[in-house]
Amino acid sequence: MTNVLSVRDLHFSYHDHHAALRGVSFELCEGDKVALVGPNGAGKSTLMLHLNGILRGQGDVTVGGVRLTRDNLPAIRAMIGLVFQNPDDQLFSPTVFDDVAFGPLHMGLPKEEVLTRVEAALQAVMMSAYRDRMSHHLSVGEKKRIAIATVLSMNPQILVLDEPSAGLDPRARRTLINLLRELPITMLVSTHDMRMVQELFPRTIVMDEGLIAADGETKEILSDEGFLNEHGLEKP
């Protein structure tokens, strides 16, 4: 399997000198579905913001063989689709269509291409019927799916999702899990939902205090209760 993402010895401090990442390294191979877990403040979101260069720390990030530098940021952003925790942060356009079309339009793609991409992305999340709805009035679960469509329309090679299941009711959560299972794409998903981790992800990365505490098979990690407790986690 080809290596599509590699992060090497990543360090980052916020302007208040709080070290949020203190040497993080890992790799993703094509088709990997990986969970990223850890207590509040572990650095999960900070790490994700590095993957497409919204934050820039010390260390290397390489996406699809291209090293992330200031000059190839736009190209990297076309390869990594980042979905934020709160769909309200992701959806800033009046209609679902406008939002899903933003990425392709910004890339300067021709009109027909934009339209087909939007259709395909909405289909993938089963929301084609919502094309002309206003995102403002959708339920949380629906918004989550649209948020995923907004990055799918950019045809990313890797999907990075920050706590996708937070705030969903059981039914919406179930729909989301099925959706993620069926998307044939490399993904890294941060979450506090240990049952989803167990169900969906063969591999898990545990972060705590800016470091990777474990990286391996989900089954093994979840069976070590002492280790989980140590990092503020719970068995599913």
- Tokens read off for 17: 């000198």
172 binds, among ligand ATP, another protein, a second copy, none (CB under 5 to 8 A by kind): a second copy
- Tokens read off for 20: 């949020």
* From candidates 6, 11, 23, 45, binder to Mg ion by CB under 5 A: 45
Least distance to ligand ATP from the beta carbon of 49, Å?
A: 8
Site residues (CB under 8 A) for another protein, limited to 150-209: 150-151, 154
* From candidates 4, 63, 82, 222, binder to another protein by CB under 8 A: 82
Q: 99-125 as b/e, with b when 16 or more CB fall inside 10 Å?
A: bbbbbbeebebeeeebeebbeebbebb
Least distance to a second copy from the beta carbon of 9, Å?
A: 26
* From candidates 13, 62, 93, 198, binder to another protein by CB under 8 A: 93
When the beta carbons of 169 and 220 are compared against a second copy, the nearer one is 169
* From candidates 13, 27, 39, 105, binder to another protein by CB under 8 A: 105
When the beta carbons of 44 and 145 are compared against Mg ion, the nearer one is 44
Burial level of 234, CB count in 10 A (0-12/13-18/19+)? exposed
Residues that bind ligand ATP (CB under 6 A): 14, 16, 18, 20, 38, 40-46, 169
Residues sharing a CB contact under 8 Å with residue 112, sequence separation 6 or more, in sequence order: none
Which stretches within the chain are classed as H helix?
Answer: 44-51, 73-79, 87-90, 96-107, 111-124, 140-152, 170-182, 194-200, 218-223, 225-230
Least distance to ligand ATP from the beta carbon of 175, Å?
A: 15
Backbone angles phi, psi at 149, to 5 degrees: -60, -35
Question: Taking each helix axis from N to C terminus, what angle separates 111-124 and 140-152, rounded to the nearest 10 degrees?
Answer: 140
Residue found under tokens 């729909």: 175
Least distance to Mg ion from the beta carbon of 123, Å?
A: 29
Residues in contact with a second copy by the rule CB under 8 A = 39-41, 139-141, 166-172, 174, 192, 194, 232-234
Residues in contact with another protein by the rule CB under 8 A = 15-16, 49, 52, 54, 74-78, 80, 82, 84, 86, 88-95, 98, 101-103, 105-109, 111, 114-115, 134-137, 150-151, 154
